[in-house]
Structure 1
C-alpha cells in the first residue's frame, strides 16, 4: 500500500493509496491544498472543515462547468456530423 503525506492549511495528513498511485494522489492533494490556501487568503482562517468544504464546492462548480462545456461541444459535433452526412447524401 502506498502512502503520501500532504500538508493542507498547515496540517499534515497521511493518505493511503494503491501502490503506484502516490504521484497522482500527491498532485490531487496539492491541488486541494492550493484551493484551500486561496480561500484562506480570501476569507481568512474560518476553520479547516469550512475551508475544505468551500474548496470542494469550488472544485465541484468547476467540474460542472467543464462537464457542461464538454456536453455542448459533443452536441455541436453531433450536429456538424449530421449536417456533413446530409450534405454528402444530398450531393449523391
Structure 2
C-alpha cells in the first residue's frame, strides 16, 4: 500500500503524539500502513506494559500473539489522524506532547 503524502498533516512534528491503548490494540498494523511519517511499529508487548493489564486484556493479547503497536518515532507525528481513522480497534488517540 502506498503511504499518503504529508500534505494533510496539521502540525509540525512533535507537537502532537499518538497514544496506543494496549487494552484495545491487537497489533493488526493498519497504523503502520497508513502513517506517512513511519511513526509506528508492531512488536511484542513489553513486560512493563503487559503486567498492569487485567486478566481479560492479557488473555486477548495472548490470543493475538502478544503483538501491539508502539510509536518509537512519536516525535515525527504531524497529527494527520490517519492512524486514528485506520485502527479497527479504536486503540489510537492523538494528544499534545508533554
Please confirm whether the aligned pair reaches a TM-score higher than 0.5, indicating the same fold. Answer: no
The higher relative CO (CA closer than 8 Å, separation ≥ 6) is in: 2
Shorter-chain TM range is under 0.3
The structure with the larger Rg is 1
Q: Which has the higher helix share?
A: 1
Q: TM-score, normalised by structure 1?
A: 0.25
